[in-house]
Amino acid sequence: MRIKNLNIENFRGFGRFTMKNLGRVNLIVGANNCGKTTVLEAVSVLMSNGNLATIWTILNRRGEVIWVDRDDPTEPVSRQYEVRRLFRGHETNVGSYFRLSADTDTGGVELVGRVEEGRPDQAQLFDPELLLADSRGEFLPLRRLSLSWSDGDLKPTHLPISQQGTVSADAFNLARRGVAHNHCPLRFVTASSLVAEVVSRLFDDVVLTPEEDNVTEMLRIIEPSIERIASAGSERTPSNLRYLPRGGLFVRLKGSKDRVPIGSMGDGIWRMLGLALNVVQCANGILLVDEIDTGIHHTIMDDVWKFVYSSAKKNNVQVLATTHSQDCYQSLAVICRDSVATDSDVTIRRIEPGREQAVAYTEQEIVAAAEHGIEVR
């Protein structure tokens, strides 16, 4: 699936915002706090097809979680997700809403999130066994959050929402049981998502496949002496190491008999490994990468873009990535010079606060900007 046009309304910091005529590889630029990461989050939630884990994952990633003591001290604390952060102005009054929509190569997709009235006598909405309020009553559910996806056969999902604009983890988990799985392969790569357990599991999936060679090839962009990668196996990695930033993977270098822990080779190798594993396993889907150049030296960004573009084209993957770096967007010109088309396969999108549409740069303009040192951020 490939997104052509994206529309955002009342989601996080955006009132109305549009990106049109997206290509295969799209780099999103702009000042700090202009909404670059929000665009990636909007795509991930919209294309989740009702998978609520997508929502609480992005709230977790930003630390938008509250821990609340129960009335009964023997009960574990309640984890409350601040879904109000998804609404413009953080308002969750009855009638507050956000809308995400996209035109894709297979049709239209829309998600509407709306706060509605909810009465405590609605047993199916407020299950007393899993929605325990704290002693002050601040997190007692008073309303409901309705989430309606237009694609598929999904019925609206209703979640009890408190006066503080939160939804309990228990409610999320209960609602997750009845929703469909994501029908569009989608991966969201951030520095914090590349923990040892996830990367080891992704690598286990490509061992002894052609994709393993592609991943090794990408690592050689940084370290040409790498001969191959090996995993201790995600199931054999000690549980106390699984959530460390790196671990469980080794490389063999030319001229050495030792297994070198990949974590000892620097941030660039680890970041490149995570990026490569995600792009080769996202066939016919969408890859979202926040700060794509993090940990990667500017001198090799040309080669990184060549790999990302060729892999995306080979596997029919659409890429949306963000950056702050001038070197990162100038490197895009390398993959534009050889095949400049009327309908750009590679674009840069600049977000400007208060502007309702992203400023678009086509392949021709990316090349011109790089050659003349024009600032597009």
Q: What percent of the chain has pLDDT over 90?
A: 27
Angle of the 53-61 helix axis to the 169-176 helix axis, nearest 10 = 150
The CA distance from 337 to 235, in Å, is: 45
Quick: pLDDT tens for 9-28.
Answer: 999 999 999 999 999 999 99
- 292 or 375, greater pLDDT: 292
Q: Which two tokens stand for residue 329?
A: 């967007």
Residues facing residue 164 across a β-bridge = none
Residue owning tokens 């325990």: 132
Give the Cα-Cα-Cα angle 184, 186, 191 (nearest 5 degrees). Answer: 175
- 206 or 176, greater pLDDT: 206
Residues facing residue 157 across a β-bridge = 147
pLDDT at 295: 80
- 3 or 155, greater pLDDT: 3
The CA-based diameter of the chain, rounded to the nearest angstrom, is: 72
Q: Which two tokens stand for residue 157?
A: 């999902």
Angle of the 301-315 helix axis to the 210-219 helix axis, nearest 10 = 160
Contact 161, 144 (CB under 8 A): yes
pLDDT band at 126 (very low <50, low <70, confident <90, very high): very low
pLDDT at 218: 85
**What single DSSP character describes residue 132?**
P
Contact 21, 347 (CB under 8 A): yes
pLDDT at 215: 86
**What single DSSP character describes residue 362?**
-
Contact 322, 29 (CB under 8 A): yes
Contact 266, 274 (CB under 8 A): no
Report the SS3 class of residue 7: strand
Lowest mean pLDDT among 174-188, 234-248, 272-286, 287-301: 234-248
The CA distance from 234 to 240, in Å, is: 12
CA 55 to chain centre: 10
- Percentages (nearest 5) of helix, strand, coil residues in the chain: 30, 25, 45
Q: Which of 92, 19, 87 is nearest to 55 (CA)?
A: 87
pLDDT at 296: 82
Mean pLDDT for 261-281 is 82
pLDDT band at 7 (very low <50, low <70, confident <90, very high): very high
- 266 or 130, greater pLDDT: 266
Residue owning tokens 């080779």: 265
Contact 277, 174 (CB under 8 A): no
Q: Which two tokens stand for residue 231?
A: 């995993």
User: Whole-prediction pTM value?
Assistant: 0.85
Measured torsion, CA atoms of residues 290, 20, 374, 289, in degrees rounded to the nearest 10: 10
- 273 or 111, greater pLDDT: 111
Quick: pLDDT tens for 235-252.
Answer: 445 555 544 555 678 888
CA 117 to chain centre: 31
Q: Where are the beta strands (DSSP E) in 130-237?
A: 141-149, 157-162, 167-168, 186-189, 226-231
pLDDT band at 375 (very low <50, low <70, confident <90, very high): low
Contact 28, 353 (CB under 8 A): no
Quick: pLDDT tens for 27-65.
Answer: 999 888 889 999 999 999 999 878 888 998 999 999 999
DSSP sequence for 244-304: SSS-SEEEEETT--SPEEGGGG-HHHHHHHHHHHHHHT-TTSEEEESSTTTT--GGGHHHH
- 218 or 64, greater pLDDT: 64
